[in-house]
Chain A
Amino acid sequence: MALKASSIKVGDVHEEVVCHDLSRTQIVQYAGSSGDYNPLHTDEVFATKIAGYPTAFAHGMLSMGLTGKMLTNWLGDGRLTKYGVRFVSQVFPGDTLTARATVKEIRHENGGPVVDLEVSTVNQEGKEVVTGSASARLDP
Chain B
Amino acid sequence: MPVERFPVEAGHIMLFARSIGDANQIYYDENYAKGTEPGAIIAPPTFVQASAQFDPDYGLRPKIGQKWFGSGKNPTGSNVKEEPVAEQPRAGGGSGLHAEQHYEYHRHLKPGDVLHSVSRPGESWEREGRRAGKLIFSESITEYYDQNNELVITARSVGVRTERPVQQD
A46 to B62, CA, bound (A): 14
A102 within 8 A of B: no
The contact of B99 among A34, A59, A80, A86, by CB within 8 Å, is A86
A73 to B26, CA, bound (A): 11
A33 within 8 A of B: yes
Q: Across the interface, which residues of A come within 8 angstroms of B102, CB to CB?
A: 82-85
The contact of A46 among B24, B44, B61, B75, by CB within 8 Å, is B75
- Chain B residue at smallest Cβ distance from A45: B71
- Tell me which of B50-58, B114-122, B142-150 binds A: B50-58
B67 within 8 A of A: no
A51 touches B93 (CB 8 A): yes
Q: What's the dominant secondary structure at chain A's contact region?
A: mixed
Interface size class of A (residues with CB under 8 A): 35 or more
The contact of A54 among B46, B76, B168, by CB within 8 Å, is B168
A60 to B159, CA, bound (A): 11
- Tell me which of A7-15, A35-43, A108-116 binds B: A35-43
B:91-115 near A, CB below 8 Å? 93, 95, 97-105, 108
A35 to B62, CA, bound (A): 10
A26 to B18, CA, bound (A): 9
Tally B residues with Cβ within 8 Å of A.
Answer: 50
Assess A36 versus B16: contact at CB under 8 Å? Given A61-B98, A66-B21: no
Q: Across the interface, which residues of B come within 8 angstroms of A35, CB to CB?
A: 50, 52-53, 58, 60-61
A5 within 8 A of B: no
- Chain B residue at smallest Cβ distance from A41: B60
The contact of A37 among B36, B61, B80, B168, by CB within 8 Å, is B61
B89 touches A50 (CB 8 A): yes
Assess A49 versus B75: contact at CB under 8 Å? Given A32-B19, A60-B97, A68-B46: yes
Top 5 nearest A-B pairs by Cβ distance? A84-B102, A39-B70, A65-B20, A35-B53, A35-B52
The contact sample of 13 A-B pairs, CB cut-off 8 A, is A34-B50, A38-B60, A52-B164, A53-B166, A65-B19, A68-B20, A68-B45, A69-B20, A71-B45, A72-B45, A77-B24, A77-B36, A84-B102
